[in-house]
Copies of this chain bind each other. A is one copy, B any other.
Amino acid sequence: MTATQPVDGVERASTGPVVARALRLLEAFSDAHPTLSLSDISRRSGVPLSTAHRLVAELEAWGALERDARGRYQVGLRLWEVGALAPRGPGLRERALPYLEDLCAVTRENVQLAVREDDEIVYVERLAGSRAVGVLTRVGGRWAMTATGVGLVLLAHAPTDVVERVLDGPFTRHTPWTLTDPTRVRQALAATRVRGYAVSERQITDDATSVAAPVHDATGEVVAALSVVAHHGRPPVSVLAPLVRTSAAGVSHALAAGRPRRRHTNPQGGRS
């Protein structure tokens, strides 16, 4: 993160603080706070009101923010359009979706796809099977790495500095089974690397267990993780693991096969 020094009413001549502050305003919005007043934005972002006023006007002019019928600000459709071009988000999802759907149809359980962003995981897709156990995840939502199957897979293949930061904690305990001891997390990561899949038993909710496997890109790097979240013990891990590994391998093959052929052209020009 770039350091910012908000100084009300004083615009710095360098681009750094201004752009960083404009982007920081966007962080004021969240799933729990999708619409905000200008003073909400200022307060939540820590950017002084007069500066926020000017930057919000800029963001609105471009379409990164828009106003609802009551005049409150919300994230604009334009930002969603640009975000839809993120290869690690919708790009990955598009190529993985057929494999996720097959896995969901066969198991009738929850199927999830996630990537690592800094020291957390972000869910890129989630399909709910017809006999699926309740889960707390959301597409675009973040979660800690050690408590989930996909997180253990991604952490098992993360750079050492990421592993050490995560193992430094803190760990949030969700159930009596949540891993909060760094030594036990290290054992889980080692087991994940040896077996080729991760098992996260009852760590988030008492009744759910996830089994996750790595997705590789063409260079062999682990770029995502795919999981099934099922009722604990039904079906057993020995049944789920080969299915999850096969699906993850399918996605890896699809990624290695290169960019998908685009199914459309946009004759109006627009964003293409």
Chain A residues within 8 Å of B, Cβ to Cβ: 1-2, 11, 13-16, 18-20, 22-23, 26-27, 29-32, 34-35, 51, 54-55, 58-59, 61-64, 66, 68-69, 74-91, 115, 117, 120, 122, 136-144, 172, 174, 217, 219, 221, 262-268, 270-272
The complex is assembled from copies of this chain, and their number is: 2
Give complex CA distance A82, B34 in Å.
Answer: 10
**Chain B residues closer than 8 Å to A54, beta-carbon distance:** 15-16
**Chain B residues closer than 8 Å to A84, beta-carbon distance:** 80, 83, 139-140
Give complex CA distance A32, B85 in Å.
Answer: 10
Contact A29 B85 (CB under 8 A): yes
Picked from B63, B78, B90, B174, the residue with its CB within 8 Å of the CB of A267 is B174
Give complex CA distance A58, B15 in Å.
Answer: 8
**Chain B residues closer than 8 Å to A74, beta-carbon distance:** 85-88
Contact A69 B221 (CB under 8 A): yes
A-B residue pairs in contact (CB < 8 Å), sample of 28: A11-B14, A15-B18, A15-B22, A19-B22, A19-B55, A19-B58, A20-B58, A20-B62, A23-B64, A30-B271, A31-B85, A68-B87, A75-B83, A76-B86, A79-B79, A80-B84, A80-B88, A80-B89, A80-B90, A81-B83, A81-B117, A81-B140, A136-B264, A138-B266, A141-B272, A142-B266, A143-B266, A172-B267
